[in-house]
Structure 1
Amino acid sequence: MTSKGATPLLPSHHSSPSRESPKDGKSAYFPYVSEPLRRSGSGSSPGNDRREYVNEKSEQGEGLLERARHDVQITPNLPEKGSKPALSATVIIPIWIALSSAVILYNKYLYSNLNYPYPIFITAYHLGCAALGTRVLRLTTNLMDGLDKIEMTRELYIKSILPIGVLFSGSLILSNTAYLTLSVSFIQMLKAFTPVAILLISAIFKLQVLTSRLVIIVLLISAGCSLAAYGEVHFEMFGFLCQVSAVAFESSRLVMIQILLQGLKMDPLVSLHYYAPVCAIINACFLPFTEGLAPFREFMRIGPLIMFSNAAVAFGLNVAAVFLIGAAGGLVLTLAGVFKDILLISSSVLFFGSPITSIQIFGYSLALGGMVAYKTASK
């Protein structure tokens, strides 16, 4: 139950200010005491100190947006390569692709073949297991050591984690609902529109300037997704609207992460540690008004073994993502995601008999080309 077919998309913020100049040459933002105020000591003028402090605080909001403008990406604010346990890329990439594909195919099998059409419950169940799993890992392993670098305050949690968690929950519910009526292959094609949504939302927030090259990439991906939708044999408007809305929610979540959580590098497990409880509670609140008690009555029919293994595969994907970040760069992650999507589409045809037309193949190829071009342009 991760962010739908794509690499995990994660937040960042920094826990303490730094006076060091950035090595990449970008302008720095220091949110607390200005340099003149630091040097003034007790002999400085109180009036000047007050004016300098007010001026510094007034620049805080502009500083957040200015820093966010530097790093608008499809997968923003991941920890630096090598910051997590090292593992060979040739080992971890196939594992990540297998787990990522297994999560989607397993959910589709649960919804369709086993007749368990309760995506809101499944989402809440996965997130509840994830919340418990991250806390067990915290006590038994060093995979959650990233939590020690984060100073999570109540204000930060309410103003940043909570709203981003709401968007995350919405994207998961809508995406999983789409699997009830749409094929896996068609959903993966629609997800190729995510970079376009991120660019457009970033442009609205003035985090990204739409250059002529980016406009061409936007048009290329949009045309490819449009052809993929046009060529869909079993088109369902409800599922289509759910998936498009899921893309909008997920893209908004990434942009909000870029604005609200600048500097605090979270890996997939640390991110899950904070978001999973929020999302599980939000989803659980929807249950009485949507699916009721039916998921609980059908739980035993499906069997604890299947339900537990389903959640375990989803959680295993997040663990694999920690090692993937340390083993591969951004472009490699994008190419691995492209290969995974192609594998998923092929598996959907083999296991679920999903029809694919030549128009869809051509359209999706255009969209994939646009995604790779976007990643290359953003380097």
Structure 2
Amino acid sequence: MINIKLASTYLYLLIYILLSSGVILYNKWVLSPKYFNFPFPITLTMIHMGFSGAVAFFLVRVFKVVSPVKMTFEIYATCVVPISAFFASSLWFGNTAFLHISVAFIQMLRALMPVATFIMAVMCGISKPKCDVFLSMWLISVGVVISSYGEIHFNVIGTVYQVIGIFAEALRLVLTQVLLQKKGLTLNPITSLYYIAPCSFVFLFAAWCLLEKTQMQVSQDQNEFNYWIFFSNALCALALNFSIFLVIGRTGAVTIRVAGVVKDWMLRALSTVIFPESTITGLNIIGYGVGKSPSLLLFKVQAFSHIYISYLI
């Protein structure tokens, strides 16, 4: 007899893997000058946040699927605003990297995520340096260096954008731990988007006015804006946000971490098929193996695992 609970868990993991891979590949296709040619990462990220915030508003205020948490102005200003700022920054810089480097290399650089998260956690005082963790961090960094050295189409600008995005995401994770949980707030997938997405949209809108507004207007005069492409793209991003929280709620940390590794390998394989320029070399594979293997051991470090789980997002 089929275990329904186990089968549903595997189904959720499969949905997460497919959505996560699909959103990354879709974003790359939309932004790349070689394909859809919409080189405006801030605009794309702003569309995602605006759509997610609007859906969350209707679910909370109109359909009343969930109730909003007790949110004071002081908590919003000191907790939600900085978290939203770094969330917007991580998405912005991460999407900008698609313009310069391949999907496969981006996934290899994301092996640095536990290193960035640990550094930020130590700086914020919620983790302490330990020899075993430090050794894992060193091995991960060596693996990323090897992968970078073996990258055929290495681009400094794209690498810098991706690394900045990684550290912004790491700081967002740490701030979520430090600020929200100390206030006793627990946000579910819908309320998280309800509070964070609109604020992130505001930050992105300010950046858009300064950096992309004029270029966007010129481009729109020359090319027709395809609303269906961006609607479907934003819908996929929203579904991914929901699936992440759904999977985390149904599985343990090790299970979802293994699913993330499977997703990474599958994504690199798919990217080489869909985007021929995404060439993977032997050094890339060796470096990724060196960088990824120690990261699984970090779950044994209790002081670090409570924020490291969010690395999968």
Per the shorter chain, which TM-score range?
0.7 to 0.9
3-state SS, counterpart of residue 288 of structure 2: helix
The answer to whether residue 21 in structure 2 is matched with residue 101 in structure 1 is yes
TM-score (norm 2): 0.88
Contact between 1:114 and 1:302, CA under 8 Å: does it hold in 2? no
Residue in 1 that maps onto 2:53: 131
More helix by share: 2
- 1:91-117 deviation digits (Å, cap 9, x = unpaired): 111011111111110010011211110
The correspondence of residues 43-192 of structure 1 with structure 2, limited to 5 A, is 88-112=8-32, 113-138=35-60, 139-140=62-63, 142=65, 144-145=66-67, 147=68, 150-192=69-111
What 5-or-longer segments of structure 1 have no aligned partner?
1-85
Residue in 1 that maps onto 2:152: 233
Letter in 1 for 2:40: Y
Q: Distance in 1 between matches of 2:265 and 2:93?
A: 22
Question: Match for 1:202 among 121, 125, 131?
Answer: 121
Q: Indicate the RMSD between aligned Cα atoms, in angstroms.
A: 2.0
- 1:208-240 deviation digits (Å, cap 9, x = unpaired): 122111111111111111111111111111111
Q: How many angstroms does 1:133 deviate by?
A: 0.9
3-state SS, counterpart of residue 249 of structure 1: helix
**Number of residue-to-residue matches in the alignment:** 291
Q: Distance in 1 between matches of 2:170 and 2:240?
A: 21
Residue in 1 that maps onto 2:290: 366
Q: Distance in 1 between matches of 2:211 and 2:301?
A: 43
Residue in 2 that maps onto 1:49: none
Residue in 2 that maps onto 1:298: 220
The answer to whether residue 204 in structure 2 is matched with residue 283 in structure 1 is yes
Contact between 1:195 and 1:371, CA under 8 Å: does it hold in 2? yes
- 1:61-84 deviation digits (Å, cap 9, x = unpaired): xxxxxxxxxxxxxxxxxxxxxxxx
Q: Distance in 2 between matches of 1:309 and 1:87?
A: 28
Residue in 1 that maps onto 2:247: 324
Q: How many angstroms does 1:302 deviate by?
A: 4.7
Letter in 2 for 1:370: P
- 1:223-278 deviation digits (Å, cap 9, x = unpaired): 11111111111111111111111111111111111211113222333211111101
Contact between 1:171 and 1:245, CA under 8 Å: does it hold in 2? yes
Residue in 1 that maps onto 2:260: 337
What 5-or-longer segments of structure 2 have no aligned partner?
1-5, 306-313
